[in-house]
Amino acid sequence: MADPFDIFEVDTKDAVRWLGAAATLVEARTTIRRCATDLSAHYLVVDQKTGNKVTLDHAGLESTARAANSGRAAAKPTLRHAANG
């Protein structure tokens, strides 16, 4: 069975990049801490089994700053395919 937790990086322009998948939420947090290069980005972990979503910061901690964003209408992130060389 494939790893059920998908990990996404969302940059300040709301562009989304898939970082990979993890077997557990703990593993997803570890991946975020290891891969985080943009300290202003936030990360979204989606559980494929339940549909639950967790927003995390670059340190793998739950982030609430995104929800309290200054009166901006909820923008839908756009998918951007990263060129992996």
Residue 12 within a domain: yes
Q: Tell me the whole-structure pTM to 2 decimals.
A: 0.71
Evaluate whether 45 touches 5 at the Cβ level (below 8 Å). yes
Predicted confidence at residue 1, as pLDDT, reads 63
What does the pLDDT profile of the chain (85 residues) look like in tens digits?
689 999 999 988 889 999 999 999 999 999 999 988 888 889 999 999 999 999 998 888 887 544 434 333 444 444 444 443 3
Predicted confidence at residue 79, as pLDDT, reads 43
Show the domain range for 44.
Answer: 5-64
Predicted confidence at residue 2, as pLDDT, reads 87
Predicted confidence at residue 52, as pLDDT, reads 93
Residue 73 within a domain: no
Residue 50 within a domain: yes
Other Cβ atoms within 10 Å of 44 Cβ, number: 21
